[in-house]
Amino acid sequence: DIQMTQSPASLSASLEEIVTITCQASQDIGNWLAWYQQKPGKSPQLLIYGATSLADGVPSRFSGSRSGTQYSLKISRLQVEDPGIYYCLQGYSAPYTFGAGTKLELK
């Protein structure tokens, strides 16, 4: 099975700050990587698919990148509505696996 190691587990950042979350895949998954945001009591919302493509309606301050088997989600200027839990997902091969999540809070 492909393991997705997500870091950090939690972080606290100030408004307008740049935030980066990473997921390390245990093997090559190409661009079969998505990022999700989940707010309390809600279902996850797709932010990024194909490692770098922005989902419809998602603000441009969110971006995804890839370097080998390391994938990153960047929030360029943290806004008040951005706190939540962020997950990566590999869809390269079953069993599809999520990262453990990153809890993002406002400082």
Partner 1 sequence: EVQLVESGGGLVQPGRSLKLSCAASGFTFSNYYMAWVRQAPKKGLEWVATISTSGSRTYYPDSVKGRFTISRDNAKSSLYLQMNSLKSEDTATYYCARHGRLLDFWGPGTMVTVSS
Taking the complex as a whole, the smallest distance from the CB of residue 5 to partner 1 amounts, in Å, to 13
**Closest CB to partner 1 among 9 and 18?**
9
| Binding site residues, partner 1, CB under 8 A | 32, 34, 36, 38, 42-46, 49-50, 53, 55, 87, 89, 91, 94-101
Taking the complex as a whole, the smallest distance from the CB of residue 15 to partner 1 amounts, in Å, to 27
Taking the complex as a whole, the smallest distance from the CB of residue 58 to partner 1 amounts, in Å, to 11
**Closest CB to partner 1 among 17 and 54?**
54
Question: Which tokens sit at 78?
Answer: 């943290």
